[in-house]
Amino acid sequence: MKKLQAIHVIRDFDKKGRFVFSKHDFSKLFPEDNQKTLEEGLNRLVKAGLLVRACRGIYVNDFAQSKDSYVIEHVAKALRRGEYNYVSLESILSEYGVISQIPLDRLTVMTTGRKGTYQTPYGVIEFTHTKRSVADILNSIKDVAGRPLRVANKQAAIRDLRRVGRNINLLQQEDDDE
């Protein structure tokens, strides 16, 4: 991967509104590079400050014009591409005003993929696996304009909190009765 070529590719994707990439994305964009060459090229781009390594295998163009305030959600989406993912638990319940604590540096995501916690420069992403059916998931989440991940409705987020055995004492009393 040549630095100048990579800069042009990253810039072109920025114009299309994309600023988060997986290592797999780069392997498709630079098919002539073998694994070692690709890794060395990515390391050079990170060292030069052109990309930020959000976590293992995920890179962010921090200078992108298309970069929005949902960077951590874009990273989460890239980590579990191909799975159903939605913001739930404490993150969305805080936005709904159902719990008093605001998780400042943590994004809680329900996923049909595997569970895991990732430290990123943008905050911690916590994936919790759900065994709910796809139909049930789709009936209890909604799209929010401009947001990369879908979000659970209030009742689904409370149900998720109970299902995974989290601290339900955080719920305000009137919302717990619903």
How far, in Å, CA of 119 to CA of 16, rounded?
A: 27
Mean pLDDT of the 100-125 span: 93
pLDDT at position 176 is: 45
CB under 8 Å to 160, separation ≥6 — which residues?
88, 89, 110, 128, 130, 152
What is the share, in percent, of the chain residues with pLDDT greater than 70?
96
How does strand 20-22 pair with strand 58-60? antiparallel
Per-residue pLDDT tens for 38-95?
999 999 999 999 999 999 999 999 999 999 999 999 999 999 999 999 999 999 999 9
How far, in Å, CA of 176 to CA of 178, rounded?
A: 6
Q: In this predicted model, which residue has the larger pLDDT, 83 or 170? A: 83
**What residues does 124 pair with on adjacent strands?**
106, 119
How far, in Å, CA of 137 to CA of 155, rounded?
A: 12
Q: In this predicted model, which residue has the larger pLDDT, 144 or 172? A: 144
